Structure 1
Amino acid sequence: MIRQAVQEDVHEVLPLLLAAIGNIAHTLAGTEDDAETKRILAEFYGREGNRISFEHVLVYTREGHVVGMAISYPGDGAALLDRPFAERNALIHGAAGAEPIVVEAKEGEYYLDSIAVDEEYQGQGIAKELFAAFEERGKEAGYIRMSLIVESYNEGAYALYKKLNYLEDGIITVSGGQYRRMVKIIE
């Protein structure tokens, strides 16, 4: 079952989020320390008005447990959703010392920030259902252009997104890594 996430899902959503975003987690948290990153991102998850807030998360549950999640939001407000992370990092590290938060989404797009399924439940169509829910959410919000990024080296995910009719739309550098931007027009 897919439902809107709630704040109390944090302990099940956070490991999935961390697995999905890799080094981006450290950039958002402003630290390389794994425990501190988890603590900081858990706090942000529980607050509204940022890119990883529970308000942007759909969860897939089985027997009352979160086994998959997808984070999505309109690209039109993506810079505002990144601002709390940038402000926190600038406060801690100084404006010059903080690693920049790259806005991944473009205006006019509905953006899939991250998607992940617990390893035990992979291969059961959960990601496909979460993708469909993400696209439906985007359509309901009035968007026809869906977007995402995928690590340049992740050929498996790239092939899956191509199979789902996403087309490559350039390269973006985020947290020191190269990502392929992919888009899909939904009529």
Structure 2
Amino acid sequence: MNIRTAIPEDAHAAVPLLFEAIGDITYILMGTNDADQALDAMTAFFSQPANRLSYENCTVVEIGGRIAGAMLAYHGSRLDELDRPLLERIASLTGDRNLTFPREAMENEYYLDSIAVDQDFRGQGLGKQLMKAFEAEGAKQGYARLSLIVELGNENAKGLYSKQGYRADGHQLEIAGHLYEHMVKQLD
């Protein structure tokens, strides 16, 4: 098993995993309701620097030369900068220059945007390994607060995060017609 920072060439394997993890939010970020168009746009963004979906913000776990899992993470203070290219794409498609995305991360948080494990590798603890990598990177960068969101009603995921020290902070947000709960963990 090899956990490493993604490279642009990982798009073919990492993007479908991230697309699955991000779910309906992908359509908002890409400005289209068409799955093929959203996947193509997401792949293009993954291959470019300086956006929330970039390989620069992605960590992958590789087993036997195959990408078995992927996660996106970045600091909340960078969210406006990282979303700008996505909002510019939507503006070019729709003409709407006033669109904003719901704020998933606070300014003082290292944020786990999404995490996914290929179905062929599930049940092997790879998600937990990626979570450990996320937390280790947050500590390495000197961030004291980690965060993520979990869909309300997804008690399995919430339970997993709670066991790892994440606590709901009372903040909820609606994205793509789904309600999410904001969870945080303080690093010592």
User: TM-score under structure 2 normalisation?
Assistant: 0.95
Shift of 1:176: 2.1
Q: Structure 2: how far apart are the matches of 1:140 and 1:49?
A: 21
Shift of 1:83: 1.1
Hey, what does 1:56 align to over in structure 2?
57
Q: Deviations over 1:138-185 (max 9, x none)?
A: 111110100000111211111100111100022111222110100000
Hey, what does 2:149 align to over in structure 1?
149
- Confirm or deny: 8 A CA contact 1:57 1:69 kept in the other structure: yes
Q: Deviations over 1:85-126 (max 9, x none)?
A: 111111211227x86422211111000000010112111111
SS of corresponding position for 2:179: strand
Letter of the 1:156 partner, please give it: N
Number of residues paired by the alignment? 186
- Name stretches of at least 5 consecutive residues in structure 2 with no aligned partner: none
Stretch deviating more after TM superposition (23-32 or 83-92) = 83-92
Q: Deviations over 1:40-88 (max 9, x none)?
A: 0000000111001000000000000100011100111111111111111
Q: Percent identity?
A: 42
Q: Structure 2: how far apart are the matches of 1:10 and 1:24?
A: 19
- Name stretches of at least 5 consecutive residues in structure 1 with no aligned partner: none
Hey, what does 2:182 align to over in structure 1?
181
Q: Structure 1: how far apart are the matches of 2:80 and 2:136?
A: 23
- Confirm or deny: 8 A CA contact 1:152 1:180 kept in the other structure: yes
Q: Structure 1: how far apart are the matches of 2:179 and 2:43?
A: 26
Hey, what does 1:167 align to over in structure 2?
167
Verify: 1:101 aligned to 2:101, yes or no: yes
Q: Structure 1: how far apart are the matches of 2:77 and 2:103?
A: 11
User: TM-score under structure 1 normalisation?
Assistant: 0.96
Hey, what does 2:122 align to over in structure 1?
122
SS of corresponding position for 2:49: coil
Q: Structure 1: how far apart are the matches of 2:144 and 2:117?
A: 25
Hey, what does 2:28 align to over in structure 1?
27
- Confirm or deny: 8 A CA contact 1:2 1:59 kept in the other structure: yes
Q: Structure 1: how far apart are the matches of 2:86 and 2:103?
A: 11
Q: Structure 2: how far apart are the matches of 1:172 and 1:181?
A: 8
SS of corresponding position for 2:180: strand
Q: CA RMSD in A?
A: 1.2
